[in-house]
Each structure stands twice: as C-alpha cells, then as structure tokens.
Chain A
Amino acid sequence: DQQVKQNSPSLSVQEGRISILNCDYTNSMFDYFLWYKKYPAEGPTFLISISSIKDKNEDGRFTVFLNKSAKHLSLHIVPSQPGDSAVYFCAASLTGFQKLVFGTGTRLLVSP
C-alpha cells in the first residue's frame, strides 16, 4: 500500500526554467510533509517542509505547495540549476507516529 506516490520517475528541465515535482498521498491524517534531495552515493538531504496547517512554504529558490483537498503537494525550484540534478523524495509524517513515509522519488535532470 503506497501511501505516498511520486508518479513521475524522471523530469528534465533546462537551466533557468522552473522545475515542478509532484507528490500525492492517500492518508488524510498526514500532518507534516518534507522534501529530500539525494545525490548518488549520499544519504537524503533535508530540503524543505510544510505543516498541514499551511498551504505554502518558501525557502530561497524552493517553494512547497500543499493542496489538502486534493491530497497533493508540489515542490517548485526557480530558477533551476545544474547542481539541482538529483533524486527528490517527498515524505509524510503523522503526529504520534515516528516514521517518515517516503515516495519512490523523481529523478530531476537540469541541463545547461
């Protein structure tokens, strides 16, 4: 039972353009969402997060949007840079439960 889904395994974007990575979830009880970036041979790196009481959180070039009614969140990267090329995982958590539930990841390739 995949509670967090990233339906696009890969995304290619040109440098300077916007990258939009999407994530859907099925459990309406999730109340905190996170995005991680992962380079090859490294562990996931925390990028940005959002609480379910908000619909937007911004940090520099990264913005996460949450649409609770659609059970959908997205990560916008503007402008995209070649160094952003990595696998991006969305994750969800639930108060009282300690684990993070991860999607399967989207590989982003930003070309110069």
Chain B
Amino acid sequence: DSGVTQTPKHLITATGQRVTLRCSPRSGDLSVYWYQQSLDQGLQFLIQYYNGEERAKGNILERFSAQQFPDLHSELNLSSLELGDSALYFCASSVGLRLAGAPSSYNEQFFGPGTRLTVL
C-alpha cells in the first residue's frame, strides 16, 4: 500500500459526459501528479500540483483540468469525453519539488491504484 488513495476505482460513462477523479496523497506529501496510461502505452504525464499551485503541465488536453485543495487532495476533471479518453488514470505523490539540491528521495513518486475510465 503506497498510501495514495484514488476514487473511484472504475468509471463507465458515455461520450460527451464529464467525470471527476479524486486523489489523496500520502501523508506529508505536498506534490501531486496525474498520469494517463492508455492501452499498451507507458504512463504519460498530465499535470502536477504542489501545495495547491499548478507547477508543471504535460500532454493534458484543454478538456481536462485539475486542482489541488487546501487539504492537499486533488481532483482531475475530464469533460466532453471521447472514446479515446478511455484509459487508466494514476495519481502519484512525492514529498517536494525536484529542484537543484533537493534530496534524491524527492525524485520518488508513489502511485495510487488508479481509476479505470471507460467511455462508451
């Protein structure tokens, strides 16, 4: 158990709909990351929040948005869903920012069990 929780575990919805995925980081971790894993693909970085603020953006579609709340949990909102959005969505957390001089342990990201999204 990584200490990162994600809900729901499974989500089935229709095209055009909107869903919200929720993540709670490990106790003490300030950084939250969202990744998408499509079929037979590696994990693709979507977005990162640190202590409530957006810090980094990856290949995240404009239809997707995220936020991190004062209690450090994060939500990923996916709207106008398309068939191609079907994937596993993982949340990860780490202690802090990967900056020069930071401890090497700050590189380590701990993943939740994921949310499997199926768009029909």
Contacts and interface: CB of A to CB of B under 8 A. Distances in A.
Interface of A: 4, 32, 34, 36, 41-46, 49, 51, 89, 91, 93-105
Interface of B: 2, 4, 6, 31, 33, 35, 40-45, 48, 50, 55-56, 58, 90, 92, 97-100, 102, 104, 107-114
A3 to B, nearest CB: 10
Contacts of A101: 45
Given A43-B113, A99-B48, A99-B56, A105 B42 contact: yes
**In this complex, which of B43, B50, B98, B104 has the most chain A Cβ atoms within 10 angstroms of its Cβ?**
B43
A105 B6 CA distance: 22
A89 B97 contact: no
A44 B35 CA distance: 11
10 contacts: A41-B113, A43-B4, A44-B111, A93-B107, A96-B98, A98-B56, A98-B98, A99-B58, A101-B45, A104-B40
Nearest to A5: B42
Contacts of A95: 98-100, 102
A89 B111 CA distance: 13
Closest 9 CB pairs of A and B: A43-B111, A99-B45, A102-B42, A98-B56, A104-B42, A102-B43, A32-B107, A44-B111, A98-B48
A100 B33 CA distance: 10
Contact of A96 (B48, B99, B108): B99
Contacts of B104: 32, 49, 51
Nearest to B40: A104
**In this complex, which of B4, B55, B111, B113 has the most chain A Cβ atoms within 10 angstroms of its Cβ?**
B111
B108 A45 contact: no
A95 B104 CA distance: 10
Contact of A46 (B44, B56, B108, B114): B108
